[in-house]
Amino acid sequence: MQSQQRAFVNPLRSAEDRRLPRIADPSALVIFGVTGDLSRKKLMPAVYDLANRGLLPPGFALVGFARREWADQDFARVVHDAVQEHARTEFREEVWEQLLEGIRFVSGDFDSDEAFGRLKTTLGELDRERGTCGNHAFYLSIPPSGFEPVMRQLKRHGLAEQVPGSWHRVVIEKPFGHDLESARELDAVVSQLFKPQEVFRIDHYLGKETVQNILAMRFANQLFEPLWNNNHVSHVEITMAEDIGIAGRAGYFDGIGIARDVMQNHLLQLLALAAMEEPTNFDAAQLRTEKQKVLAAARVPADLARHTARGQYAPGWQGGKEVRGYRQEEGVPDDSRTETFAAMRVDIDNRRWAGVPFYLRTGKRMPRRVTEVALSFKRPPHLPFTATDTADLGTNALVLRIQPDEGVTLRFGAKVPGTQMEIRDVSMDFGYGGSFTESSPEAYERLILDVLLGEPPLFPLQEEVELSWRILDPVLEHWAELPEQPEQYAPGTWGPRSADEMLARDGLAWRRP
């Protein structure tokens, strides 16, 4: 049966031809914590979209594991509703019927021997009835506190034992610990059962088309690479801003903070992709090696009081509506020291980037939702114009827009039409939506498919996780020692005054996307 099922992999696709899609092996995807928002809004719709695009084989099964007392048909209805509400592609009955045949649900707690016994029985039945061939991926869409009991039960019931001709993989959602020490403890738990190549740490930002386009733009074009260094670049800003508050997530967010939630993973991964050297090829080992080299060379300045900033959004008005401050959010203590805005400077000690500061910032209740990487270039050493000719001329900039308006903007100076020599900034803009007829897959589509294919380029190894914590830990320790709470900032603004002062000390100012 196994050899017959593997025939579903496209036989026309050679290993070197990336134009034809690869179809996943027959397999079962087990989602722990399947009743959560992530599963409902992202994971279930992504599975359907993959099936709708013909990228899942007929021998595919989706197994939910949670405490709810559901039968298989109850879970199927939940999946159906999630797909209809959140799927990117159109709903097709024939695709749903095929997917429905492989949907199962197992009810129980993470420490329940009986529940994991039922899970083992269910997976065995799917191997026989659906031809999943013993290929099982375990998606831990649960808090890190649940990892150890799940791992213990998988081991006790032999669910991760290696069987010739089949594979087992585990998928871990961020956060990967809350500091370096806890990240190592978490890895020790996971590595008891799974080898490094079987562990897939999900950072959904790495699945976004525009993040991957950073690599394409840098290394497919001779135009940019000669300028991508400290001879021409003045500084780099990496921004991830949200225009909402914590949206009822106080139980998760308070005590964690936005630096741990976003900066340690998303922003430092963007920094690594923007600053890495050209890999020999795009195999996982080569990409990871270059990213690790950059992260190993990155450090925060010694004077963290001058080169970091943190804040909390205060009550006020945003978008014509009155909004609560962070400490007024349900479930947040009045004396909370958790930051909702974080900014820091990172320096990279290598030949390419020495002397070029990288500024990272992220915050909630910002004026707009935006994620971007902006390279600002140095001013020309000499301008043969009068001061009035260039009064409205800024610096050249290359902006890589990650979301929501995916694309690239190049800002440069041009002459204003007329008889006078007057130069102003203009922009050339590339937008994905206007240049390609194909719509970008949702990030979780790409990442789930890569898990099922066993392709790891977009997943950070433990070494990258530890290097990122080495960068961020000194900042978190510095903030923990401060006597005062984070500085308040008004909703709908770009953060606290201390963030502007941080760049002003270097003679710079933040971009206003």
Catalytically active residues are 266
Distance CA 273, CA 130 (A): 40
| Contact indicator for 58, 95 with CB cutoff of 8 Å | no
Please give the biggest Cα pair distance in the chain: 84
| Contact indicator for 354, 232 with CB cutoff of 8 Å | no
| Spatial CA neighbour of 147 closest among 121, 175, 123, 179 | 175
| Spatial CA neighbour of 372 closest among 498, 260, 256, 511 | 511
| 3-class DSSP string for 9-46 | CCCCCCCCCCCCCCCCCCEEEEEECCCCHHHHHHHHHH
Q: What string of DSSP letters covers 266-296? A: IIHHHHHHHHPPPPSSSSHHHHHHHHHHHHH
| Contact indicator for 29, 448 with CB cutoff of 8 Å | yes
Count, in order, helices (H) and strands (E) of the chain. Answer: 18, 18
Distance CA 306, CA 498 (A): 9
Distance CA 258, CA 361 (A): 10
What are the tokens at 278?
């050209």
| Contact indicator for 298, 472 with CB cutoff of 8 Å | no
Distance CA 290, CA 126 (A): 40
What are the tokens at 138?
């375990």
| Spatial CA neighbour of 295 closest among 333, 269, 328, 259 | 269
| Spatial CA neighbour of 47 closest among 74, 24, 19 | 24
Sign of CA dihedral 174, 179, 180, 183: negative
Counting Cα atoms < 13 Å in the Cβ hemisphere of 364 gives 22
